[in-house]
Structure 1
Amino acid sequence: MGSSPRILVLGYRHLGDSLFLTPMLRAMKRFAPNGHTTVLAHGIGAAVLEGNPHVDEVFKVSCRGMAAKFSHLTPLRRTRYDIGILAQHSLANAVFLWSVGCKQRVGIDSKGCGLFLTHRVPTMGLVHEVTRYLKLAEALGANGDSSGLEFFTTEADHQSIAHFLFERGYDLQQRDGRPLIALFPGSSQQWRFKRWPADRFAQTGSRLVMQHNACLLLLGGPDDRDAIDEISQTLTVPFCVVDSSHSIGRLAALLAACDLLITNDSGPMHLATAVGTPVVDLAGPSDPRRTGPYGAGHVVIQRVEPGSPKQWINAPDPQLPMKAIGVEDVVAAAVEQIAKTRLV
């Protein structure tokens, strides 16, 4: 490998997965500062990395699936990549990386992927996904990275959010001891059973406003409309609904302005950690040891044995892990988190 390696990373289309890559991308840029890193990504996964200074190019794939990736094989082969990083771990992706012609190919040695890799990383036990990706960089000679996730906001996004909040009666320059708390009650349609009951979000928000003078934001996109509507109809305190689907940059700036995010296991949870906002994670059926909020300063609430959410899909009551989380637990965790900022 020369001093200016061309690096290809097979990335993701989801928000959280793409943010999990950022410590590894940072480690690789330190390892090869003159290298050129391209990340193959789709949808919001591409948007997450477009402003990242450790990524030189985001190669956007117009749709998901291996057929879409292989349709770009010819221009990718022309680049003659020195290094290929198999972040999206599957045999099909390993074959694709080999087909691109990357001279060195690193990935986890499982599912038959090792046949197509030059640097095989042994399978790991129960570790966070961020750790898993960092091990790929270390296998190439990069040093580990103990820093957190990253998302790079713009001044324009911060100014836009400050204006948005000011118009709704909240001045970021003069908070007057009022904590700004965001609730994210949504999830993808596939994982609807990972949602905490909407009435409990409403109870939690009401108590934080009435007892701690909080300013309450309710975040959600089109897929979360039913949860947003139910909470809105139940709340008896002032609140503001924010469409979180328009711009990832504005959402990041909004979360950076907040003192706390209370959320289901979700992409916005990881975005909050990336911009330094404390999180109360309602983990439910997820395994926070693998996909929970990365780094210190966050609270995870879980009342069932952690495991894979998939094991609950066909359960008699898939929402049981979420229903086991009580309002009292969440309010106490929120107050504890806000107290650290001396706003309560």
Structure 2
Amino acid sequence: MPENAQPRVLISRMSAIGDCILTLPVACAIRDAFPHAYIGWVVEKKAAPMVRGHQALNAVIELDRGWFTSAKGIRTARAALRSHCFEFSIDCQGLTKSALAGRLSGAKTRVGFKGRHGGEISSLLNNTKISPVFKHVTDRSLELLIPLGVHSPKVKWKLPLSATSRHWATRWRRTINTSKLAVLNPGATWESKMWEADRFAATARYLRDQYGYHSIAVWGTDEERRMAEKMVALSDDSMSLAPDTDLHHLGALIESADLFISGDTGPLHMAVAVGTATIGLYGSTRPGDSGPYGQIAIQKEYQRGSRKQRRKADNSAMRKITVDHVCQKIDEIESRRRLNNAA
């Protein structure tokens, strides 16, 4: 298609928060290739804040979780999608529900991954199929744009954070009386993705003693807050508890920081998207598949098994990552910064 073409394109990536963030470069790449395109994104409501308001998008179609399990939900989704008259759908998730959304949209060209995954029937619902070369979620998703004539686009995120949240983060940052701020995130949806509270606390002490950082522990659920409070209690005043935040304010807070350390969860990918130096800790997932894109990832052991088995496992693989391992990566980041400042 010529650059002045006006294709109507639907991106289908419905969940989870981190994976939706990892897919944002698809929207940016389509917009860069076709400035006059009409671009929509169908997403489930929990992950919608990371998509809603993105500057590359014309429309965000939000669906309830489980929408595809009832006739009423399917009819509602079809009506919402058909009103946009999409010509192309890009199934970045490879699940039955994400491919079904493309089919319901009425798009004639429905691009997805080749092959079947588990019990999913996405390959039957999509009619243009790509065998991806890359493993990382972001790179694989961008390969789906080849049928539109988009090859090897520049990776951009442009995370849609509100001006209000950024203004709040700027004001809050001034309450921390140090020049360097680190954000440490203990939370994760799987226990097998979680690092130990005492190790986070030891890392915070190292950051303070070696480089003058103050650290904050972020949290989302009540359980995560309890772990964050334990980290603060063990930190010898090198860390404090972050305020309660929604996703936009959390993203703005991370954007204001100099360093972010976390297991494999949504805020980790948020940190990469806003350009904060990031160290990702991996045990039950592989950084080559969904790691902090272009940033540092640490994995010392992989928790093998099916997705269900890895989800239910303990965090023994994460415990193979020591405080020394993390501090070595901190030293590398700080050394690189010194060289850049001296140049």
> In which range does the TM-score fall when normalised by the shorter chain?
0.7 to 0.9
Please list, as runs of the form range in 1=range in 2, the aligned pairs for 1:147-166 lying within 5 A after superposition. 147-166=155-174
Q: What one-letter code is carried by the residue in structure 2 that aligns with 1:163?
A: R
In the alignment, structure 1 residue 185 sits paired with structure 2 residue 186: yes
Please list, as runs of the form range in 1=range in 2, the aligned pairs for 1:67-146 lying within 5 A after superposition. 67=69, 68=73, 70-111=75-116, 112-122=121-131, 124=132, 127-146=135-154
Shift of 1:217: 1.2
Please list, as runs of the form range in 1=range in 2, the aligned pairs for 1:233-248 lying within 5 A after superposition. 233-243=233-243, 246-248=245-247
Question: What percent identity do the matched residue pairs reach?
Answer: 24
Q: What one-letter code is carried by the residue in structure 2 that aligns with 1:132?
A: R
- SS at the partner of 1:159? helix
Q: What one-letter code is carried by the residue in structure 1 that aligns with 2:93?
A: Q
Shift of 1:66: 1.6
Q: Deviations over 1:42-71 (max 9, x none)?
A: 234211122311111111113344244542
In the alignment, structure 1 residue 7 sits paired with structure 2 residue 14: no
Give the aligned partner of residue 312 of structure 1. Answer: 310
Please list, as runs of the form range in 1=range in 2, the aligned pairs for 1:272-311 lying within 5 A after superposition. 272-295=271-294, 298-305=295-302, 310=307, 311=309
Q: What one-letter code is carried by the residue in structure 2 that aligns with 1:264?
A: G
Give the aligned partner of residue 63 of structure 2. Answer: 61
Please list, as runs of the form range in 1=range in 2, the aligned pairs for 1:195-344 lying within 5 A after superposition. 195-222=194-221, 223-243=223-243, 246-295=245-294, 298-305=295-302, 310=307, 311-313=309-311, 318-342=314-338
| TM-score calculated relative to the size of structure 2 | 0.87
Q: Deviations over 1:64-111 (max 9, x none)?
A: 442445422123223321111112212343244223311111111222
Q: Deviations over 1:232-279 (max 9, x none)?
A: 2222124221146x3322222221221111111111111111111111
Shift of 1:138: 1.4
Please list, as runs of the form range in 1=range in 2, the aligned pairs for 1:15-30 lying within 5 A after superposition. 15-30=17-32
Structure 1, unmatched stretches of 5+, are none
**In structure 2, do the counterparts of structure 1 residues 136 and 70 end up closer, same or farther at CA, with 3 Å as the change threshold?**
farther
CA distance in 1, matches of 2:276, 2:229: 25
**In structure 2, do the counterparts of structure 1 residues 166 and 113 end up closer, same or farther at CA, with 3 Å as the change threshold?**
closer
Shift of 1:148: 4.1
**In structure 2, do the counterparts of structure 1 residues 309 and 293 end up closer, same or farther at CA, with 3 Å as the change threshold?**
farther
Q: What one-letter code is carried by the residue in structure 2 that aligns with 1:121?
A: I
- SS at the partner of 2:216? strand
**In structure 2, do the counterparts of structure 1 residues 158 and 198 end up closer, same or farther at CA, with 3 Å as the change threshold?**
same
**In structure 2, do the counterparts of structure 1 residues 221 and 93 end up closer, same or farther at CA, with 3 Å as the change threshold?**
closer
CA distance in 2, matches of 1:95, 1:238: 49
- Size of the aligned set, in residue pairs, is 328
In the alignment, structure 1 residue 41 sits paired with structure 2 residue 43: yes
Structure 2, unmatched stretches of 5+, are none
CA distance in 2, matches of 1:228, 1:309: 30
Q: What one-letter code is carried by the residue in structure 1 that aligns with 2:289?
A: R
**In structure 2, do the counterparts of structure 1 residues 46 and 92 end up closer, same or farther at CA, with 3 Å as the change threshold?**
closer
CA distance in 1, matches of 2:176, 2:303: 40
Q: What one-letter code is carried by the residue in structure 2 that aligns with 1:278?
A: A
- SS at the partner of 1:106? strand
Alpha carbons 1:221, 1:243 under 8 Å: kept = no
Alpha carbons 2:260, 2:278 under 8 Å: kept = yes
The RMSD of aligned alpha carbons is: 2.4
Shift of 1:158: 2.7
| Larger displacement relative to structure 2 (325-334 or 249-258) | 249-258
- SS at the partner of 2:242? strand
CA distance in 1, matches of 2:312, 2:247: 33
Alpha carbons 1:149, 1:294 under 8 Å: kept = no
**In structure 2, do the counterparts of structure 1 residues 10 and 147 end up closer, same or farther at CA, with 3 Å as the change threshold?**
closer
| TM-score calculated relative to the size of structure 1 | 0.87
